[in-house]
Amino acid sequence: MSVPSTGLIAGILLAIAATTGGFTGFLLAVVLGAVGWLVAAQLSGQVDIRAIFVGRRRG
C-alpha cells in the first residue's frame, strides 16, 4: 500500500473517531495511532525506541 493511501485511510478513520467519539475519541484515536506506529516502526527496524529513551552517554 502506498504512503498516500495509508494517509487517506488514517484520515478517514480519524474523522470517524471524531464524529462518533467527539474530541475525546479523536484524541484517543491519535494517541493509539501513534503508539501503533511506534510499535510497528520498532518491529520493522525503522526506529530504535531504546536509543531514543536512553540517549547518548557522555564519557
The half-sphere exposure of 45 on its side-chain side, counting CA atoms within 13 A, is 0
Q: Where does the pLDDT of residue 2 fall: very low under 50, low under 70, confident under 90, or very high at 90 and above?
A: confident
pTM: 0.68
The CA radius of gyration of the chain, in Å to the nearest whole number, is 15
φ, ψ dihedrals at 17, nearest 5°: -65, -40
- The pLDDT value given to residue 56: 67
What is the Cα–Cα distance from 50 to 43, expressed in whole angstroms?
12
pLDDT digits (tens, 9 = 90+) for 9-58: 888 899 898 899 899 988 898 888 888 888 888 888 888 888 877 876 66
Is pLDDT of 3 > 80? Answer: no
Q: How confident is the model at residue 59 (pLDDT cuts 50, 70, 90)?
A: low
**How far, in Å, are 6, 11, 19, 25 from residue 22 at the CA level?**
23, 15, 6, 5
